[in-house]
Amino acid sequence: MRIFRHLLLVLIFGSLIGCDVKSPDQTRIPLLEVEGKFLYLDQVQGIIPPNITGADSIQIADGYIRKWVTDVLLYEHAKRNVTNKAEIERLLDDYRKSLTIHQYQQNLLQQRLPQQPSDEELFTFYQNFSEQFVLREDMLKGILLVLPVGAPKLNDVRHWVQSGDNKSLEQIEKYSLQHGLSYDYFADRWMPLNEILKKMPVQSPNLNETLGTGKYVEVSDSLKHYMLNVDSVKRVGQIEPFETAKEKISNIILNKLKSDFIVNFEDELYQDAIQNGTVTFFNK
């Protein structure tokens, strides 16, 4: 970075000799000045990724500097030549007003609304509007163990994977640490079938159509052995499990609460203003 700084100072300050430069911030190292605007070394250093050095860092810095200078020149040139300044001021005022209102509303929502609906609210919504949560992909629970070809005690391992009880799971975990390539236990959560099939490049014919609860599948290729035991299956067109639908339901409920809160708050604000005389109507 010291070399980078030296190069920048030499290149840039060398090009500024003879310029009438206004006074920069004395606590920072200036690199250049355009139209009374200063670009400082720390600004340029801040956009260089820590793993980039040498010529690459110089190239990134040069691109940033050129863009910064161009933006300043364009803005100053536009200010001198744009004629509809009143319209721009109006737009800025509208944007400032919208931004201020939005920030105020967000603060109110954060203060007055729950950050997360209760599990009871989530489940009630799930039951009442289950038709909104129809699966578009198969999902399953189970176990997938991937072993290298030639791994020992395959018959024992088959029994453990097919059984899936606590004792068998302990055996699988110990065995996979020594001999396994990967071990996925997802009997306690739903996984998209496609995510599982990505880990099984060799598939039996129509595997995704034939999978069912209690189904055991074992396939091999020249390097690996795949053992899949399916505990539960949810098919496309069925209602999505509550566990995987919870986040969507939470977002739906929170968005509805936010929308209702804003509408009611604005209505109360208006009605209060009418009643206390803040709004004055003029008779024609």
What is the reported pLDDT for 209?
67
pLDDT of residue 83: 85
- Nearest 5°: the CA angle 58, 62, 67 is 155
**Res 10 pLDDT > 80:** no
With a cut of 80, say whether residue 202 has pLDDT above it: no
Residue 175 contacts residue 119 (beta carbons within 8 Å): no
Q: What is the mean pLDDT of the chain?
A: 87
pLDDT band at 7 (very low <50, low <70, confident <90, very high): very low
95 lies in some domain: no
Q: Decide if 92 is inside a domain.
A: no
Residue of 203, 248, 246, 208 lying closest to 230 (CA atoms): 208
32-48 confidence digits (pLDDT tens) = 999 999 999 999 999 99
Asked if 73 and 154 sit in the same domain, the reply is: no
Question: What SS3 state is found at 153?
Answer: coil
Q: Which residue has the higher pLDDT, 19 or 87?
A: 87
**CATH number for 201:** 3.10.50
Residue 171 lies in a domain: yes
pLDDT reading at 12 higher than 60: no
Q: Is residue 239 part of a domain?
A: no
Q: Is 90 exceeded by the pLDDT of residue 70?
A: yes
**Angle between the N-to-C axes of helices 54-81 and 2-15, in degrees from 0 to 180, rounded to the nearest 10:** 40
Q: pLDDT at position 148, please?
A: 94
DSSP secondary structure string for all residues of 38-80: EEEHHHHHHTS-TT--HHHHHHHHHHHHHHHHHHHHHHHHHHH
Q: For the segment 154-190, what is each residue's pLDDT rounded down to a tens digit?
A: 999 999 999 989 999 999 999 999 999 999 999 999 9
The answer to whether residues 77 and 139 belong to one domain is no
Examine the pLDDT at 84 and tell me if it is beyond 50: yes
| pLDDT over 60 at 13, yes or no | no
Pairing relationship of beta strands 191-192 and 139-148 according to DSSP bridges: antiparallel
Q: Range of 42's domain?
A: 2-81
What values do phi and psi take at 15, rounded to 5? -85, -10
Residue 15 pLDDT exceeds 90: no
266 located within any domain: no
Same domain, 144 and 224: yes
Is 283 contained in some domain? no
Using the Cα atoms of residue 59, residue 61, residue 63 and residue 66 in order, give the sign of their dihedral. Answer: negative
pLDDT tens readout for residues 213-270: 678 888 888 899 999 999 999 999 999 999 999 999 999 999 999 999 999 999 999 9
pLDDT for 115 equals 83
- Nearest Cα neighbor of 70 from 43, 40, 32 is 32
Q: Are residues 152 and 219 in the same domain?
A: yes
Number of domains observed in the structure of the chain: 2
- Asked whether residue 187 is assigned to any structural domain, the reply reads yes
To the nearest whole percent, how much of the chain has pLDDT over 70? 88
**End residue of a domain, out of 216, 234, 252:** 234
Asked if residue 253 is part of any domain, the answer here is no
In angstroms, the CA 240 to CA 234 distance is 7
**Can you give the pLDDT at residue 123?**
95
**pLDDT tens digits for 116-138?**
899 999 999 999 999 999 999 99
